[in-house]
């Protein structure tokens, strides 16, 4: 019998995939939360990054965006804590990041940084979550 056919080995592989996905997911949640907190406290910094003039109305919208990002991050915590049994936050998170990347790409200009951020994390989280699900399924004979 080879290692790949033993339950212990497949469980070990599933645990490695879980660890990798949780690290990436946690890193992404912390980064997007930090960006949102900076945008709440100092919205001109975010607006300067994307190249927008910052009259008062735009600053207010930057704060609203930041609050929504914080709320979305908080709603994804169950998916971080138990990605196998809480699949919806993971799937919606990946789709949402992909959708936001497309939106930011369509806006162009300084939004390309935000498109790259969301696009890279959407692909990376998709890959790690897919590996995790496959590894978890392989632990069940």
Look at residue 62 in the predicted model and tell me its pLDDT. 87
Residues of the chain with pLDDT under 50: none
Query: Cα(117)–Cα(111) distance, rounded to whole angstroms?
Result: 10
Q: Which of 98, 97, 113, 106 is nearest to 46 (CA)?
A: 113
Look at residue 75 in the predicted model and tell me its pLDDT. 94
Measure CA 117 to chain center. 9
Listed by start position, the domains of the chain span 3-138
Query: Cα(129)–Cα(134) distance, rounded to whole angstroms?
Result: 9
Give the global pTM: 0.84
């Amino acid at each position: 019998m080879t290692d790949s056919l033993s339950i212990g080995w497949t469980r070990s592989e599933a645990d490695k995939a879980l660890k990798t996905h949780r690290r990436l997911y946690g890193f992404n949640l912390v980064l997007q939360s930090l960006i949102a907190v900076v945008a709440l406290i100092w919205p001109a910094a975010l607006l300067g990054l994307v190249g927008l003039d910052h009259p008062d109305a735009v600053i207010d919208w930057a704060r609203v965006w930041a609050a929504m990002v914080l709320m979305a991050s908080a709603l994804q915590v169950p998916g971080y804590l138990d990605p196998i049994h809480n699949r919806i936050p993971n799937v919606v998170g990946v789709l949402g990041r992909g959708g936001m990347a497309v939106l930011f790409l369509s806006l162009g200009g300084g939004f390309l940084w935000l498109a790259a951020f969301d696009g890279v994390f959407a692909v990376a989280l998709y890959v790690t979550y897919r590996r995790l699900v496959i590894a978890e399924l392989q632990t069940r004979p």
